[in-house]
Amino acid sequence: MKFEKEILCIGAGYVGGPTMAMIAHKCPRYRINVVDINPEKIAQWNSNRLPIYEPELDEIVSGVRGRNLFFNTDIGAGIRAADIIFVSVNTPTKTFGAGAGMAADLQYVEKTARQILEYSESSKIVVERSTLPVRTAQAMERILISDKPGVKFEVLSNPEFLSEGTAINDLENPDRVLIGSQQTKSGLKARDVLCQIYENWVPRGRIITSNIWSSELSKLVANAFLAQRISSINAISSLCEATDANVDEVARAVGLDSRIGPEFLNASIGFGGSCFKKDLLNLVYLFRNYGLDMEADYWEGVILINENQKDRFVMNMLRNMFNTLAGKKICVFGFAFKANTGDTRATPALTVAKKLMAEKAEVMITDPRALGNAKNDLQDIAGRYKLVDDPYEAARGCHAIAIMTEWKLYRTLDYKKIFKSMQKPAFIFDGRNIADHDKLFKIGFNVFPIGKAKMVHF
């Protein structure tokens, strides 16, 4: 069968994999090829055990894999065959040289652009799908100047807004799809080609276009605003704890103002995930780069509050558990950075576990999906910890439970049974405010929510 379009995605990660699976699912007339430098990851995409856990992803992939969705490692052949290339390689925070700890590390994006140039034998549209600092497209365009006759590249920005755990729904019913292009004739033509792909399932009104720099910047700003809301409510949670106000009640009252809205006001142990901190750092670096220091400080505050929230949490445990955690067993419920994913990148649970181990506590870690990643994250960490599948087993004999991830499971456990198996006095520190605190208190736990009065028996 001859396919109408050949689409390539470079980078088979959390973004590339689900995005391409959705395009393949919605557009049977397009052939989608996903390549990655990591052969193990490709083998997993071709197996029954996908490299990432995402609700509904398995079903979608098994419906299209081998039909119009293919995973392999032949980057050169993939580039040659493609009309459109999505670049979804990772853009971590730089760990070396100028901008270390702040700027985005663009080496993989640049290497990918050079590979595209090397292997291309015809003109192509190159889509930035990774999150990049504003004006990266300019660097891409400068690299992608071909001396082969008739070979031209048009670079577009099409940032992803998918959220892990709901990625499939976010891809299927997006609030908006953003496509940034150069405002030249060829730029606008390329933009229309990409619009047409999304029009296969996204209403035209939700596909918005802009200049390419606005598109690049919008992604950073969207994530910065979301992270800012969490740090804002988390900052308020400290004040609530000091004044016996209840952060959930405050969030509800504030969120009912239609100008503010109710989403993303859940006080927590702090945000994690591969994006928020990285993108904020990236934004702060951009501000500093342009000499906008006051603005940089403002956004840096969002990160500082997030770090403070984790410090506060562990200090609260320490203070309330009689100022020593040494030799105590603490059970960590949840290691993923949020529910419904096995992803542990920048998870607050790791920071908390490390701090507890630094206090010489023994940490029992349980999570329904993330123990594989937890094992990798913890392998070089000194300290006593165990990874335990069963939450009842993990809590047995512990002095305290710290809830780190809002898995539904942790709302519905038999806490009476857990209480019986723990050391007394038994403590529960709910870093997600998901448990039924009154019920836990009645069972006998000393309960410490976020942003609410503690409930103690002594």
Among all residues, which ones are annotated catalytic? Answer: 275
Give whichever of 50 and 275 is closer to ligand UDX, judged by the CB atom.
275
Contacts of 221 (CB under 8 A, 6+ apart): 283
66: left (phi over 0), alpha (psi -120 to 50) or beta: left
The tokens 């000499």 sit on which residue? 291
State the minimum distance, in angstroms, from the CB of residue 128 to ligand UDX: 9
Contact by Cβ (8 Å): 449, 421: no
Residue whose CB is less far from ligand UDX, 151 or 226: 226
Segment contacting ligand UDX (CB under 6 A): 158-166, 312-320, 324-332, 367-375? 158-166
Instruction: State in angstroms the smallest separation of the CB of 399 from ligand UDX.
Output: 25
Residues 124 and 24: their CA atoms lie apart, in Å, by: 19
Query: In a 3-state reduction of DSSP, which class is residue 240?
Result: helix
To the nearest whole angstrom, how small is the minimum distance from the Cβ of residue 442 to ligand UDX?
A: 27
Binding positions for ligand UDX, 11-70, rule CB under 6 A: 11-16, 36-38, 41
Q: Which is nearer to ligand UDX, 182 or 237 (CB)?
A: 237
Nearer to ligand UDX, 346 or 422 (CB): 346
Give least dist CB 118 to ligand UDX, A: 13
Q: What is the DSSP string of 280-317?
A: HHHHHHHHHHTT-HHHHHHHHHHHHHHHHHHHHHHHHH
- Which letter, b or e, does each residue of 363-372 get, where b requires 16 or more Cβ atoms within 10 Å of its Cβ? bbbbbbbbbe
Nearer to ligand UDX, 344 or 446 (CB): 344
**Nearer Cβ to ligand UDX (160/367):** 160
Site for ligand UDX in 290-349 (CB under 6 A): 337-338
Which residues 77-106 are close enough to bind ligand UDX by CB under 6 A? 88-91
Question: In the set 20, 61, 155, 162, which binds ligand UDX (CB under 6 A)?
Answer: 162
Binding-site member from 28, 138, 141, 161 for ligand UDX (CB under 6 A): 161
Rg, C-alpha atoms of the chain? 24
Phi, psi dihedrals of residue 385, rounded to the nearest 5°: -150, 160
SS3 15: coil
How many residues at the interface with ligand UDX, by CB under 6 A?
40
List, as one string, the DSSP characters of 149-200: TT--EEEEE------TTSHHHHHHS-S-EEEEE-SSHHHHHHHHHHHHHHHT
Using CA atoms, how far apart are residues 431 and 331, in angstroms rounded to an integer? 13
Using the contact rule CB under 6 A, the part of the chain among 77-85, 160-168, 295-303, 363-371 near ligand UDX is 160-168
CB of 55 to ligand UDX, least distance (A): 13
Closest by CA to 260, choosing from 236, 284, 242, is 236
Does residue 275 interact with ligand UDX by CB under 6 A?
A: yes
Taking Cα atoms as reference points, which of 85, 91, 86, 128 lies closest to residue 107? Answer: 91
Q: DSSP code of 259?
A: T
Q: Is residue 224 a contact point for ligand UDX (CB under 6 A)?
A: no
Between CA 235 and CA 67 the distance in angstroms is: 50
108 binds ligand UDX (CB under 6 A): yes
Helices 348-358 and 371-378: crossing angle, nearest 10°?
50
The nearest distance, CB 96 to ligand UDX, in angstroms, is 16
Q: Of the ranges 156-164, 235-243, 288-296, 442-450, which one interacts with ligand UDX (CB under 6 A)?
A: 156-164
Window 117-136: residues binding ligand UDX (CB under 6 A) = 130-131
For ligand UDX, the closer CB: 41 or 399: 41
- Single out the segment in contact with ligand UDX by CB under 6 A; choices: 117-125, 137-145, 266-274, 288-296: 266-274
**Binder among 3, 119, 201, 264 for ligand UDX (CB under 6 A):** 264
Task: State in angstroms the smallest separation of the CB of 109 from ligand UDX.
Answer: 8
Smallest separation (angstroms) from ligand UDX to the CB of 388: 22
d(CA 242, CA 262): 24
Report the C-alpha gap between 156 and 127 in whole angstroms. 5
Taking CB under 6 A as the rule, does residue 230 contact ligand UDX? yes
Q: Is 187 in the site for ligand UDX (CB under 6 A)?
A: no
Contacts with ligand UDX, residue ranges (CB under 6 A) = 10-16, 36-38, 41, 88-91, 108, 111-112, 130-131, 160-164, 223, 226, 230, 264-266, 268, 271-276, 337-338
